[in-house]
Amino acid sequence: NLVLVGLGVLLWIFPGVGAALHPQETVLLRSLGLKARPSPRSPAPVPPWLWKMFQKRSEAPKESRNPCWVEEFQVPGNVIRIFPDQGHLIHREEPQSWICLQKRLYFNFSALEEREELTLAQLEIQFSHNQYQGSSLVHPFQLSLYRAPQMTLHGMSTHTYSRQLLVEQSFAHLHKSFAFNVTEVAKEWQTPSKNLGLFLEISLPASPKSSLCSKLDSMLSTSLLVVSLTPGQCKSPRRKRNAYYVPVSASNICKPRRLYISFTEVGWENWIIAPQGYLANYCLGECPFPLTEELNSTNHAILQTIPCCVPVRLSPISVLYYDNNDNVVLRHYEDMVVDECGCR
């Protein structure tokens, strides 16, 4: 009774040299929750704090890894995405000299699945100003962030639509980054027609002649951090069915077998950032009948309950990758590594 189950199917991912791996690649992609192999075009570097999160996960003991909780932000979630801003500057017909820049911020949410539950959206605004001179101003900048309800066109006058102020903040240092909680607004963006983005305005009311003001645009970078829960994952722990373990003596008895999935060998190195692969393992081996329990069963009943060698304990992994929209994604997957096998 030799049965190959579960992740064992991935065994076939290992291509013999030149072998076609299409169906197997699809299986592996699906296990990562993806429909197709992403091909990022101009992905941004991974922010150092996201690397740290990934490393912390990978080094943590397996038992303490919770794929459904993001400790760093104290919210539920198994996917952390960084969306680059795809908005544009707004050029006004009658510029007011104290307004340094007006920008529409737009984040393409098409990567989010329909029923994905957004649990945190945090707007990150960063100024990269490396000159010491002028980095501390006498007159502070004023940053205002609005919800942008009807702004669709370039150069539209700010007075023709109503905008709702979300946050206002003044700052005097240009080597600074800001993080704003925009969870409530961003939840609406999962409906594409409601995703009108945000409106950012930075002004220098007290000192309209500053040369820094006009250069602000080139120093600004904005991105959106989104934590979410994908449907189907992170349900309540599954009921453990009874399984019996067999003594690990004979070599052909049911037990985990080593299987390393190399993302590089699969040809995924251009979109998977880390890890380079993972030890998936699979279950294989004989399951002897637990004769004592079955003594009075009919033959047919016995046949229906032939025990299979299956995973009974699995652990999660985390994968850092670029998706099709060049977003950086850190995703935690449940049940990816077979730790123990049993017969059931």
Instruction: For residue 82, count other CB atoms closer than 10 A to its CB.
Output: 20
Enumerate binding residues for ligand NAG (CB under 6 A): 108, 110, 181, 183-184, 296-297, 324-325
Q: Report in angstroms how near the CB of residue 296 gets to ligand NAG at its nearest.
A: 4
Residue 161 CB, nearest approach to ligand NAG (Å): 19
In 59-197, the DSSP E strands lie at: 69-70, 75-76, 79-84, 88-89, 99-105, 117-127, 136-147, 164-173, 177-181
- CA 2 – CA 254 distance, rounded (Å): 9
In this complex, which beta carbon is closest to ligand NAG, that of residue 109 or of residue 282? Answer: 109
**CB of 156 or CB of 212, closer to ligand NAG:** 156
Q: How would you class 249 by CB atoms within 10 Å of its CB: exposed for 0-12, middle for 13-18, buried for 19 or more?
A: exposed
Q: How far is the CB of 124 from ligand NAG (least distance, A)?
A: 13
Take residue 76 and report the two structure tokens written for it. 């539920």
Residue 15 contacts residue 21 (beta carbons within 8 Å): yes
Which residues are CB-neighbours of 85 under 8 A, at least 6 positions away?
A: 105, 106, 107, 221, 222, 223, 224
Q: How many CB atoms lie within 10 A of CB 200?
A: 24
* For ligand NAG, the closer CB: 70 or 280: 70
Q: In angstroms, rounded to a whole number, what is the distance separating the alpha carbons of residues 342 and 43?
A: 43
Minimal distance, residue 170 CB to ligand NAG, in Å: 21
Q: How far is the CB of 120 from ligand NAG (least distance, A)?
A: 6
Residue 229 Cβ vs ligand NAG, minimum distance, rounded to whole Å? 15
Between CA 27 and CA 280 the distance in angstroms is 14
Alpha-carbon gap, residue 242 to 333, rounded angstroms: 24
Q: Which is nearer to ligand NAG, 77 or 316 (CB)?
A: 77
Whether the CB-CB separation of 89 and 201 falls below 8 Å is answered with no
Q: What are the distances in angstroms from CA 313 to CA 9, 92, 256, 299?
A: 17, 61, 10, 30
User: Least distance from C-beta 181 to ligand NAG, angstroms?
Assistant: 4
Which of 261, 284, 242 has the alpha carbon at shortest distance from 6? 284
| Closer residue to ligand NAG (CB): 3 or 111 | 111
Nearest to ligand NAG of 162, 297 (CB atom): 297
Of 108 and 221, CB closest to ligand NAG:
108
| Minimum separation from the CB atom of position 131 to ligand NAG (A) | 33
Is 148 or 341 the residue whose CB approaches ligand NAG more closely?
A: 148
